[in-house]
Amino acid sequence: MHTSSLEHNGSISRTFWRYTIPAIAAMIVNGLYQLVDGVFVGHYIGAEGLAAINIAWPVIALVSGLGLLIGMGSGSLVSIYRGEEKIPAARTAMFTGLMLIIVFGVLASLYLAFLGDPLIGLQGAQGMTQAYAADYIRVFSLCAMATVASGALPFLIRNDDSPIVATAMMVVGALTNIVLDYLFIGVLHWGLAGAAWATVIAQLTTVAMAFVYLLSRHSYLSVFSHQLQFSLSDARKSVAMGVSSLVMYLYYGVLVAFHNRLFVEYGSPISIASFAIVGYLMTLYYVVAEGIAEGMQPQVSFYHGARQFSNIAKVAKLATMVSLGAGLLWLGVLNAFPEHVIGWFTTGDPALVDEATLGIRLHLSAMYLDGLIILASMYFLSVGKGGTSLSISVANMLVQFPFLAIMPKLFGLQGVWLAMPLSNIVLASIVIPLMWRHIKRQRRTETHRVTPSLATVSQ
């Protein structure tokens, strides 16, 4: 068995980047599944196709979120056990996570089969938009386990001390998705069903690569080389720790659904298509912020298990600066070159370009705060405070509802675009200080714990 890089006392920043760069790359690749679908749908199907995929996405968000729940919950538990030097317990947590994939995969298929169409209708979809969205969801209802597994396995493998392997799996999956999108949408003209099949086959490719790794000698924990043991206690802990990640994912899905409904009421199908484009552009920052947070997680969980709280503070500070810098940089690019980035998704519909530009100016004006909120939620998850992490994720969703209820009535369509940035400002002003107060308290306990031994040495 090889030695974990987290067990060495090397540079904290070097270790941070060793985990964060692959995590960012993995999340960008994961985001490319949505982005590439949007590019091909926008160019080959048009505004109705973009609107349909934006209607379908909130329905599928629960399935993708279940994969994230398992990956982050079981993955965090694995890293905490490793920090406590409980390797057999880490193996049990890993195998328990693999079993949860099967359970939640079956439940996800049933959910899409019975509730997919009603949830499309609740968003106000009609005509071809409704038909396209139904086609998209139908494919995922048949292959939901692949979606859950492809969401969970990269994070489990990253916490198996193989972040590069996890990233490589997702890169191969994304490249497969691009090729199949072109074949199924551009050549065979399968419409949104083609986009769904391209995604599912790419996800199956990622899952196959994951199990090749887990069965190989390169796996740090070598789960399948030891007695396989499922732990109901670990399953409960994994769900409790990972549910905040599910809620964070659902928060975005639920809010997309509410925005879709409001854009139907206050705008037009062009408004929904514009919102889809703005959502894709936000995704490019959102996945980077998620990658920074998830790259931070193994380090923070390990240091928490080892009770090295001053190291946690250093990692959290570095992650905060990187997340904030990335958000401000991308916001500057979007505002400087809106027509160029919107052109990725359309052949030049003037009405679509104009409304999407408005969406960039208003809707994304405070998106960098969303990255810091994600970071705070992930911090509390990493130190075993799943309840606090869940509260932040729930608050991130609930705080937006009052703005969504009031702003459109006051400002019409522009009010719909402004609801999210205003709610981000309110929540960030509460959550970010909460995280840093907790870090400072933890550091004080470490100082108190170390001081007596230092005094003894001096005597």
Query: What is this structure's pTM?
Result: 0.73
pLDDT digits (tens, 9 = 90+) for 266-314: 988 889 999 999 988 998 898 899 889 988 888 888 888 777 888 888 8
Q: Please say whether the beta carbons of 273 and 133 come within 8 A.
A: no
- From first to last of its 459 residues, what are the pLDDT tens digits of the chain? 454 555 444 578 888 888 888 778 777 776 777 788 888 998 888 888 888 998 998 899 899 999 989 998 999 899 889 878 889 999 999 999 999 999 999 999 999 999 999 999 988 888 888 999 999 999 999 999 999 999 999 989 988 888 889 888 988 998 899 999 999 999 999 999 999 999 999 999 999 999 999 999 888 888 888 888 899 999 999 998 888 778 767 777 888 898 999 998 998 888 999 999 998 899 889 889 988 998 888 888 888 877 788 888 888 999 999 999 999 999 999 999 999 999 988 877 889 999 999 999 999 999 999 999 989 988 888 888 878 888 887 888 789 899 999 999 999 999 999 999 999 999 999 999 999 998 888 887 765 554 333 233 233
In terms of C-beta density within 10 A (0-12 exposed, 13-18 middle, 19 or more buried), how is residue 294 classed?
buried
pLDDT digits (tens, 9 = 90+) for 140-184: 999 999 999 999 999 899 888 888 898 889 889 988 999 999 999
